[in-house]
Amino acid sequence: MIRPLPDVHLHRGAGRDSGRATRAGARFALVTGASSGIGAAIADRFAAEDDWRLLVSGRHRERLARVAGRTSAIALPADLATPEGGHDLVRDALDASGRIDLLVAGAGVGWAGSFATMPPAAIDRVVGVDLLAAVRLVRAALPHMLDRRHGHIVLIGSVAGSVGVRGEAVYSAAKAALGIFADSLRHELRRAGVRVTHVVPGVVDTPFFARRGTPYTRARPRPLPPERVADAVWDAVIRGREVVYVPAWLRLPALVHGVAPGLYHRLASRFG
């Protein structure tokens, strides 16, 4: 049973081709974290393509309704922090569309500050949303993709998971685990017809920092617009790319961290 948003039709066809869902060759993308920030930008990017239909999910019903309205999407509100959230969302998505060609796991939360003072509830929430929710969501959607031998999974990570960030120990750990999950899953599915992409953004200009409780105050790197990440996701899906850093130069500090951690830590201590 699909739980629609109040006063929002599931199939938003006004001003667009409302029959596009049944058009031959149309594909369905399920985007989580789509009520704002990177997820909303990804929904906007894919909505611009005629052969894609969107299913968008998020916790904030009003913001999700606005995204669904402008992208002609099916709105599926869900709380992925609950153990059953991913399973229920995938069930509702398949009920609504019959297929999921692309899954973009974009839901995420943050917390900044000293780990010694981090509330236990905040630890559980960051790990629960940034890691466990994505793993559970993929686990729920994967059998459908394997049955069809077709699908693409995009996991939205963070450069914090590649190099570690001071004051974000748990967030960095969760995103690092998500990257290893992406690598392992990619090896497992290489001959199964299902692709896995790990997108690694740097600092992005979204409400994320305000919601984590601490604003972003550094002069550099300058925050990127979320549309840059959305364009990178689109390019990765079209080209079948496996790991994408946004911006691309972030691959360099991640590489230095991997091959010369001592040098990286000295540079990080000096330049922040």
Residues assigned a catalytic role: 171
Q: How far is CA 123 from the centre of its chain?
A: 20
| 3-state DSSP assignment of residue 58 | coil
Of the candidates 177, 181, 161, 82, the residue with the CA atom closest to the CA atom of residue 125: 82
Judge whether 20 and 26 are in contact, CB under 8 Å: yes
Q: Write the DSSP assignment of 117-172 as a string of letters.
A: G--HHHHHHHHIIIIIHHHHHHHHHHHHHHHHT-EEEEEE--THHHH--TT-HHHH
96: Cβ–Cβ under 8 A, 6 or more apart, which residues?
2, 10, 55, 74, 76
Find the distance separating the first CA and the last CA of the chain, reported in whole Å.
Answer: 50
